[in-house]
Amino acid sequence: MKHSVFWLCIVVPLFIIGLGSLAYYLLQNLQPVPASVPPAFVQPTIPVAGFPLPSSQTWTLLITGDVIPARVVNQKMVTKNDFRWPLVNFYSILQNADITLINLESPLLINCPITNEGMQFCGDARFAASLAEVGVDVANLANNHALNYGWEGLGETQELLKKVGIVTTGFASTVIPTEVEESNSPTIQNLNALDPSTNARDDFFHCERDIYCSSFIQKEVNGITIGFLGYNAVGQRVDRKIIQKQMSAADKLVDVLIVSVHWGKEYSREPAIDSIAVDDPQELGRLFVDWGADVVVGNHPHWYQHIEWVDNKPIFYALGNFIFDQEWSQETKVGYLAKLQFAGSEVVKNKLEIIPIGIKDYGQAFKLEGEEKDKVLEIIVN
């Protein structure tokens, strides 16, 4: 018992001394805990208004020259039983754009006659599926060959495109008649046959069988609403009053307004007039911008022409041929595509991409490279 008391008297003081030493060490070496402990990972800061933000509203528009799957082009497609043939080299380019717009200067018909000559154009109905497959979204049908098979041919074309998901602007014939109209082209119609001043329209976008106004369609990309109008200024004088009213009305409905127009003198490097295209493309283009157009896309000359910027909005006077059989000259076998990038509703000028193209074997488009490509770019830029 005495031994137990002895050891207890030794151990207890030592234990107390040890606890005191540990407490002193901790007080000297540990830092106080801050009131707010920083997180283990840096958290992203909330963006401050006024600084540019990564935009989901960036989108692209691709435009082309004349697409005419007629005559020899059609003959080759049918013979090869390959309706992708004219476009096969451009699938990746056209599909990579958010919206692709073409000027379709030929009706598409189930019973299109096979021929390699003449000026009454049509292409096989099966070409519509190839246009959709390659990525075409919108087709302008306002041009001097759209009515080569009358309003019935135009209506058939619209239905074929609609079935494959391509919307159309320009001329419209939603009601297909039982007989083809006698007049096969606007070039031979009486320019006074329709007097816009006496043709009352409660809706300026209702353009059934009307060669002076345009059907209006809209697409949406990343929250941006894009409107399309199409006009023909070949074989008829445009009615500026109707166009101004349409553009002004359309401009209020969309964020971006794209106008596709058929105009100007054929086979000319500069925008000009002639006996069947009496409206000056440069005058019209600038007016279109004043009336609300954000992009003006011109075609018909079959030669490419320069680009003009008006109030930071591009006017493409002509992109040349894209698909056509005009093998008889170098100028008609060269054109370009243009890919525009938008930030919201604004064209990003320094992001404009020009893609020079050539045409071989009477109708197959291909990308130009080297000196031929540089020549096209030099003329367009200058």
Strands 295-299 vs 307-310: parallel, antiparallel or unpaired: unpaired
* Torsion from C-alpha of 289, 263, 309, 341, nearest 10 degrees: 90
Tell me the pLDDT of the chain averaged across its residues.
84
What pLDDT score does 25 carry?
A: 52
Residue 382 has pLDDT above 50, yes or no: yes
Tell me the per-residue pLDDT of 356-381, one tens digit each, with 9 for 90 and over. Answer: 999 999 999 999 999 999 999 999 98
What pLDDT score does 381 carry?
A: 80
The mean-pLDDT minimum among 28-32, 339-343, 360-364 falls in: 28-32
Q: According to DSSP H, which parts of 312-363 are helical?
A: none
The distance in angstroms from the start CA to the end CA of the chain is: 115
What pLDDT score does 226 carry?
A: 98
What pLDDT score does 208 carry?
A: 86
CA distance 211 to 237: 10
Average pLDDT over residues 82-111: 97
Q: According to DSSP H, which parts of 216-259 are helical?
A: 240-251
Q: Which residue has the higher pLDDT, 40 or 300?
A: 300
Sign of CA dihedral 216, 222, 223, 224: negative
Q: What percent of the chain has pLDDT over 70?
A: 76
Residue 342 has pLDDT above 90, yes or no: yes
Q: What percent of the chain has pLDDT over 90?
A: 74
The CATH superfamily of 58-187+202-381 is Metallo-dependent phosphatases (3.60.21.10)
Residue 282 has pLDDT above 70, yes or no: yes
Tell me the per-residue pLDDT of 187-206, one tens digit each, with 9 for 90 and over. Answer: 322 222 333 333 333 355 66
